[in-house]
Amino acid sequence: VYSSSEIAKFSFGSGYPTLRGSSYVGAACTNYRGAIVVDDLNIEKTATTAAHELLHLVGATHDGTEPYQHLPNHRGAMDCPDDKQHILSTTTNETMPPLSTCTRDQVVDFLKSKNGTCLLNIEPRKYPPLSEANLRNVLIDPSRHCRLLYKEHTSVQYIQNYSEAHNIQSCYLVCATINADGEKEHNVLPAPDYTPCGVPEDKKTKVCINQMCRNHPLTPKTIRERLQKHISSPYKVMMFTN
């Protein structure tokens, strides 16, 4: 386990205390296809950083930057301002912001070029897609998630049914904590995807997806299937990348 400053020293020779991740632009199909992400147990922030670094791997640079010379015909992102409104901003954002048009176009270019062919291979997968049939445990345990979000508190409790409007069946996660005055506080948050939300009477496993309680998807589409369906139009690819 390394701190952000240690990762920066290994990668760049000097430390950056605010470093959240590091990866190579356009390296998804090379020996440099890895990425480093700082995991501070804040799931939302870590997920945003992971998405940011993965977009670098598939050819996208920070908004507001010039084309990368080592990628043939790379268009860069000079037409998009560098601000927190989009995920490839140089400044961090704890929520999951959308892609800028520059990021979208760079990713589509990469996937349509020879640099991204490994992501579209047609070899059979070694393991079957994740489905309800082979899902043995829920992906998000709400009690554990509450403890991770409020790890600085000594007392953290997951409340399954806080109110008629805020409960897990409505895909709200309620975490009760004790403040400095000894009073209980109820923190209401959108439940992460794949948090169980059903009731015992349900015949199928129900989970939260986009803050809606629904049956667990039987067979999610693979990355290759989605790309092959939408690759002809960059505007459709946005549905996949968001």
- Looking from the CA of 95 toward its CB, the CA atoms found within 13 Å total 8
Q: Tell me how far apart the alpha carbons of residues 53 and 59 are, in angstroms, rounded to a whole number.
A: 10
Residue type, 221: K
Per-residue pLDDT of the chain (242 residues; tens, 9 = 90+): 445 555 555 554 454 556 678 888 999 998 888 888 876 656 677 788 888 999 999 999 999 999 988 888 999 999 999 888 888 988 766 666 788 999 999 999 999 998 998 887 666 666 555 554 445 455 788 999 999 889 889 899 999 999 999 999 999 999 999 988 889 999 999 998 888 888 767 777 788 887 889 887 655 555 455 545 544 333 222 222 22
pLDDT of residue 234: 31
Query: How far is 163 from 192, CA to CA, in rounded Å?
Result: 19
9-121: CATH number: 3.40.390.10
Q: What is the pLDDT of residue 225?
A: 56
Domain with CATH 3.40.390.10 in the chain: 9-121
CA separation for the pair 46, 202 (Å, rounded): 32
Number of C-alpha atoms within 13 angstroms, CB side, residue 88? 31
Q: Residue 124: is it exposed, middle or buried by C-beta count within 10 angstroms (0-12/13-18/19+)?
A: exposed
Which residues lie below 8 Å from residue 2, measured CB to CB, with a gap of 6+? 10
Distance, CA of 167 to CA of 164 (rounded, Å): 7
Residue found by looking up tokens 């829920």 in the block:
138
Instruction: Decide if 170 contacts 195 (C-beta within 8 A).
Output: no
Written as six digits, the tokens of 118 are 């490994």
Are 57 and 23 spatial neighbours (Cβ–Cβ below 8 Å)?
yes
Query: 40-88, pLDDT tens digit by residue?
Result: 656 677 788 888 999 999 999 999 999 988 888 999 999 999 888 888 9
Per-residue pLDDT, 126:
61
Long-range contacts formed by 37-40: CB under 8 A, 24+ apart? 38/3, 38/4, 38/7
CA 97/CA 83 separation, integer angstroms? 11
Residues marked active site are found at 53
How far apart CA 140 and CA 156 sit, in angstroms, is 17
**What's the confidence (pLDDT) of residue 74?**
93
- Residues that constitute the known binding site for Zn(2+): 52, 56, 62
Residue type, 163: S
Structural contact between residues 163 and 182, judged by C-beta atoms closer than 8 angstroms: no
